[in-house]
Amino acid sequence: MFDDFFIRALVAGIGVAFVTGPLGCFVIWRRLSYFGDTLAHSALLGVTLAFTMEFNIALSVFIISSLIALILIQLQKKTNLPGDALLGLLAHSSLAVGLVVIGFLTFIRFDIMGLLFGDILAVSVDDLLIIWIGGALILLVLKLIWKPLFASTVNYELAEAEGLNPDRAKAIFTILMAAIIAISIKMVGLLLITGMLIIPAAMARNLSSSPQSMVIYSIIGGLLSVIIGLLTSLEFNTSSGPSIITAALLLFILSLFKIKQSIKLKN
Amino acid sequence: MSTDQNILVKLNDAGLQLNNRWLVKGVSLQVEKGKIVTLIGPNGSGKSTTAKIALGIYKKIDGSVEKYTHKVGYVPQKISIDWTLPLRVNDFMVLTESLNKETIDEALSLTGVIHLKNKNLGDLSGGEFQRVLLARAISKKPELLVLDEPVQGVDFTGEIALYELIKKISDELSCGILLISHDLHTVMTATDHVVCLNGHVCCSGSPMDVAKNNEYKALFGEQASQILSRYEHKHDHIHTDEGEIKKN
| Chain B: closest CA distance from residue A257 (Å) | 18
Query: What's phi and psi for B43, nearest 5 deg?
Result: -55, 140
Q: How confident is the model at residue B186 (pLDDT cuts 50, 70, 90)?
A: low
Test A157 with B95 for CB contact under 8 angstroms.
no
Interface of A with B in 215-244 (CB under 8 A): none
The strand order across the sheet containing B72-75 reads: B72-75, B144-148, B176-180, B36-40, B193-197, B201-205
Extended beta strands in chain B, E state: 7-18, 21-32, 36-40, 62-67, 72-75, 144-148, 176-180, 193-197, 201-205, 237-239, 245-247
B141 at interface of A, judged by CB pairs closer than 8 A: no
Q: Taking each helix axis from N to C terminus, what angle separates A193-207 and A211-236, rounded to the nearest 10 degrees?
A: 130
- Whole-number Å distance between alpha carbons of A197 and A218: 9
pTM of the model: 0.86
Q: Which residues, numbered 62 to 81 in chain B, qualify as contacts with chain A under a Cβ-Cβ cut-off of 8 Å?
A: 70, 72-74, 76, 79, 81
More confident residue, B117 or B1: B117
Q: With a CB-CB cutoff of 8 Å, which residues 144-203 of chain B face chain A?
A: 146
Stretch among A1-10, A76-85, B48-57 having the lowest mean pLDDT = A1-10
* Higher pLDDT, residue B41 or A137: A137
Q: What is the pLDDT of residue B219?
A: 76
pLDDT tens string A89-112: 999 999 899 888 888 887 777 778
A210 with B97: Cβ contact below 8 A: no
**CB-closest option in A150, A162, A213 to B72:** A162
H-type alpha helices, A118-210: 125-154, 156-161, 166-188, 193-207
Mark yes or no for CB contact B74/A157 under 8 Å: yes
CA distance A172 to A147: 13
Q: How high is the pLDDT of residue A187? A: 81
Q: What CATH superfamily classification does B80-182 receive?
A: P-loop containing nucleotide triphosphate hydrolases (3.40.50.300)
pLDDT at A177: 94
**A interface test, pick of B81, B95, B138, B145 with most A CB neighbours within 10 Å:** B95
Q: Which pLDDT score, from 0 to 100, does residue A264 have? A: 54
**CB-defined contacts A:B, below 8 A:** 71
| Residues A140-177 pLDDT 10s | 999 999 999 999 999 999 999 998 999 999 999 999 99
- Domains for chain A: give ranges and CATH numbers: 5-191 (1.10.3470.10)
Which among B86, B120, B140 has CB closest to A205?
A: B86
Residue B243 clears pLDDT 70, i.e. is over it: no
Most confident of the following: A119-128, B138-147, B203-212: B138-147
pLDDT band at A241 (very low <50, low <70, confident <90, very high): confident
Mean pLDDT across chain A:
89
All structural domains of chain B with their residue ranges: 1-29+42-68, 80-182, 183-234
- Per-residue confidence at B184, pLDDT binned at 50, 70, 90? confident
ipTM for this model: 0.82
Mean pLDDT calculated for residue range B186-194: 77
pLDDT at B235: 43
Q: How confident is the model at residue A17 (pLDDT cuts 50, 70, 90)?
A: very high
By C-alpha distance, which of A196, A231, A234, A200 is closest to A217?
A: A200
pLDDT of residue B231: 46
**Rounded Cα distance, A113 and A81, in Å:** 33
A109: left (phi over 0), alpha (psi -120 to 50) or beta: beta
Mean pLDDT of A181-203: 90
**Which pLDDT value is given to residue B239?**
53
- Please tell me the predicted confidence (pLDDT) of residue A53: 83
Beta-strand relationship, B7-18 and B144-148: unpaired
B-chain residues near A210 (CB < 8 A): 86-88, 90-91
Contact flag A158-B82 (C-beta cutoff 8 Å): no
Portion of chain B with pLDDT greater than 70, in percent: 86
Nearest chain A Cα to B72, which residue?
A: A162
